[in-house]
Structure 1
């Protein structure tokens, strides 16, 4: 695993070398000095680098290979060529770059259609969420996936919609009963402190930056407002979403930061050995541990038979085979999980 993690940086280094070398050839005095009179072969080589080699290196670095990603990266390589290669050199191959722009435009139109589809189904999504027994942080993504095709853009919209709901429309809600993961920590105080720091920074520094650069001050103002809204939403999301369980699944979330659905049939074992829990959490483990000012260890690590996808902020998904949890009621949580596992075994 360590060798794989180190190896992926080789691909990133090679990607950087490809970009830098192609930039240097056309945009530095040294590069211009070694260009031949007939530049077509050099430009063709650069196009192969940007359209074929660059996407391959990036996918090797990400360790993720999909047709959609390959098409998207190839189109981006075509567009990048228009910026790196002077037009006089690129003119014989300009059709290639227009093809890239056309592909990008088609993908953008497709994403926009998905957004319109999402907006169209909002009433049905709201009704589905209202009738669901699951917490909103889980029922809303389920409802979206039910009506709209899964897509990274839709995942981002879903994440932003959840943030808006918890930041502006959830303050009259009371937390449901259940086991929590934040009450035995200073996490909420830490979040409030961050909000205060952002507000003070905005008031104190914004005026000074505004005198230097109006554009930069507006960008920082928007980012600070977004950060405050995010922290407020995250506080509410943690308060209103204790650990939830039904007969089949454990639903656990750390506010808007991450959430997971763990099938009881997929649990292989639960580790509660203190010596193991005090060790560094492995890389194939996603933790649901509230951190503030002090280092804390999990109460248990759940080993899974098959990997699951944990949803992170902005809808990003990450696979894992172990879940580390620190709760306010570790014994009660362990007992509840084991009870449901046994019930599932008895029903077989």
Structure 2
């Protein structure tokens, strides 16, 4: 954890130093007029140096290298604000190079999306024919999805949006699955859904007032903010419905843990070492949380887990937009804790 803090401190310090030094050299009269070629040096800082900092401190070993291009474009945007126009105009060609790169990247992503759309009918057909041991949309659609598409970040992002639109727009006319001995809810004794409803209410009120305020300043910015707010609204609606429709489930082969549309973990029963009441601290350090799948729903106050499930080997948990991590434990809080504890204990002892 100390190493992580130091990394962010060093990144913030170097980034501030680069931006502020470039800003001051054009603003301090005591330094005199900037020398010939200074604008080119500043462009190098914003388009090369800063993206390299982002790569080494943030992206490396965690995210795809393709995120460098948006950082370079953002760096050029900052350069436009910092470098005087009369000096920057001599290097206007840099803007077109970056735009050409972004256009090429966009066309590549568009090609991937078109490939995905072309396979949607086959995926839907497989979904309708699937006989998954779990009846919920998320698991059946994921099973059909993987039959027709190779794993990729673009595919995972698209699938996350499909889930969001399904639960936020389509699932309302469907009743949650009738609970049986395999299914255990987590939300009925928590304030999770109430909290989401309050956030939706605040978001709608904020969107209306803020939209008119932004529109008087910049119609384009107002439209962008409105689109983001609508997307966030759909996200909260989907979270409510996914929580209601996707309880924790125990089958003859797996333990299925899904927390809204945000995260999911499928654990083979033979990988479960034990389940025991949680007796750890209420607050878990960031280092410890890296190896824990937290299936406790959000609430007005963070609730302490009731159970901790330990695994023999690390198991890959899936998160929204294709993010993944290996976990060795899961923390749970349920509406019927003793019933769940007895059922899972019986399964892993068989």
**TM-score between both structures, scaled by the size of structure 1:** 0.78
Report SS of the residue matched to 1:270: strand
- Shift of the alpha carbon at 1:172? 2.9
Q: Against the structure 1 CA distance between its residues 112 and 273, is the aligned structure 2 distance closer, same or farther, given a 3 Å change threshold?
A: closer
* CA shift for structure 1 position 272: 1.5
Task: Measure the CA separation in 2 of the matches of 1:277 and 1:14.
Answer: 34
**Offset, 1:195:** 3.2
**Which residue of structure 1 lines up, in the alignment, with residue 346 of structure 2?**
339
CA contact under 8 A between 2:200 and 2:236: conserved in structure 1?
yes
SS in 2 for 1:296: coil
1:129 to 127, 130, 154: 127
Match of 1:287 in 2: 294
In the alignment, does 2:44 pair up with 1:43? no
Q: What is the CA distance between 1:312 and its match in structure 2?
A: 3.2
Please state how far the C-alpha of 1:242 moved relative to its aligned partner.
1.0
Matched residues in 2 for 1:24 and 1:207: separation? 32
Q: CA RMSD in A?
A: 3.7
CA–CA separation in structure 1 for the residues paired with 2:2 and 2:33: 38
Kindly provide the CA deviation profile for residues 158-201 of structure 1, in whole angstroms up to 9, marking residues without a partner as x.
Answer: 22211111122212322222111111123223333333444455
The answer to whether the 8 Å contact 1:163/1:233 transfers is yes
Offset of residue 240 of structure 1: 0.9
Distance (whole Å) between structure 2 residues aligned to residue 142 and residue 252 of structure 1: 16
In structure 1, stretches of 5+ residues that fail to align are 344-348
CA distance in 1, matches of 2:326, 2:60: 12
Superposed counterparts of 1:87-236, under 5 Å: 100-130=98-128, 131-133=130-132, 134=134, 135-176=136-177, 177=179, 178-201=183-206, 205=209, 209=213, 212-213=216-217, 215=219, 218-219=223-224, 221-236=226-241
Q: Kindly indicate whether the alpha-carbon contact (under 8 Å) linking 1:166 and 1:237 is maintained by their aligned counterparts in 2.
A: yes
Give the Cα separation in 1 of the matches to 2:78 and 2:55: 22
Give aligned pairs, total: 336
**Which runs of 5 or more residues in structure 2 are unaligned?**
none
Could you tell me how far apart the structure 1 residues matched to 2:188 and 2:301 are?
15
Q: 2:244 aligns with which of 239, 245, 250?
A: 239
Deviations 1:48-95 (A, max 9, x none): x455543442233326337951x6516843783586267876799888
Say whether 1:259 aligns with 2:264: yes
Q: Which shows bigger deviation, 106-115 or 51-60?
A: 51-60
SS in structure 1 of the partner of residue 172 of structure 2: coil
> Is contact 2:69–2:102 with CA below 8 Å preserved after alignment?
no
Structure 1 residues 213 and 296, CA gap change in structure 2 (3 angstroms): same
Mapped pair 1:329 → 2:325: no
Is 1:59 aligned with 2:64? no
Deviations, residues 123-153 of structure 1 (Å, cap 9, x unaligned): 1111222214232223323433443343333
What TM-score comes out, normalization by structure 2 length?
A: 0.77
- For residues 101-120 of structure 1, the C-alpha deviation after alignment (integer angstroms, 9 at most, x for no partner) is 44433322211111001100
Specify the alignment match of 2:319 in structure 1. Answer: 312
